[in-house]
Amino acid sequence: MFERLLKAIGVPDEPGPARRVTPEPTPERATRSLALEALVAAIDPGSGKPGVNADYTVAAALLADLVSEGRVVVSGEGRKTRITVTDTSPLGDPELDKALSRLAIDSGEQKVSRTVWLLPGAEQVVERLVGQGVLLEGSRTRLGVFTSRVLEITPAAGRDEIVARLRSALLGESVPDRRTALLVSVVTIGVHLKLFVEKDRVDEAYRRADEILAGLGDADRALILGVRAARDRTDSGGGDSSGV
């Protein structure tokens, strides 16, 4: 009777015991990340190795995707370029989500030159691609003594299509869309363009790459130049000892 009276006057039932709610898993990202495309392009089919500065290419690609997805905003320019995480929602891509979680540890502005070393590098992307069977691991012996790992690119990597896009943009055969323009710009940070064009057209390709970079939006351009500045500072032995 008492319970009926409470119900009649609109008093809600007492809540039952709390139930643990399991969050829905983040769907796998349908679009291949810029970092994967850039890493595949960076591998020299002849040597079976990516460029020596491939970590910078991967870092720039990851940051560019995070900006594109609205997870990060960019401010400043050059060595003073900074990023701020504005949305920590996962994207369903292992490297992007790992990069985002590491960046999100600091809620304020962070210098790009410092964040480069927080992000997954080329080796992590290689491991993923090997696990997927997109790259095959092998070895090569030199002088009968020195053994090194080499990577074989399978057709599943889609490298021919990626290189065709790069080549077409670098030789002015097509006007690149934003994604291809970003791909050109991040690849140029860590890979010599002789990998994509004939030797006598390398200078032309670099000039075109500079034009493509100049045509990017302010945030994209600042980000690319910030990573490039970090690379140049490391190459010169300067490091980055300034505060964040």
Task: Give tens-digit pLDDT for 175-216.
Answer: 999 999 999 999 999 999 999 999 999 999 999 999 999 999
Interval 141-161: pLDDT, tens = 776 667 788 999 999 999 999
Mean pLDDT across the stretch 56-85? Answer: 93
Mean pLDDT across the stretch 42-58? Answer: 93
- Does residue 131 carry a pLDDT above 80? yes
**pLDDT band at residue 170 using 50, 70 and 90 as cut-offs:** very high
Give Cα separations from 200 to 153, 171, 203, 204 (angstroms).
26, 12, 7, 8
What pLDDT does residue 129 have?
A: 95
What pLDDT does residue 24 have?
A: 59
What pLDDT does residue 13 have?
A: 54
List the single range of 40-44, 75-79, 130-134 with lowest mean pLDDT.
75-79
- Does residue 164 carry a pLDDT above 60? yes
Mean pLDDT across the stretch 40-54? Answer: 93
Mean pLDDT across the stretch 225-229? Answer: 93
Ordered by start, the domain boundaries in the chain are 31-234
Interval 7-45: pLDDT, tens = 555 545 555 444 454 455 667 777 899 999 999 999 999
Interval 93-128: pLDDT, tens = 999 999 999 999 988 899 998 899 899 999 999 999
What pLDDT does residue 6 have?
A: 40
Dihedral angle of Cα 123, 125, 128, 129, to the nearest 10 degrees: -100
Instruction: Provide the token pair at 241.
Output: 């000892």
What pLDDT does residue 189 have?
A: 96
Which option is the CATH number for 31-234: 1.10.1070.11, 3.40.50.1000, 1.10.3630.10, 1.10.20.10? Answer: 1.10.3630.10
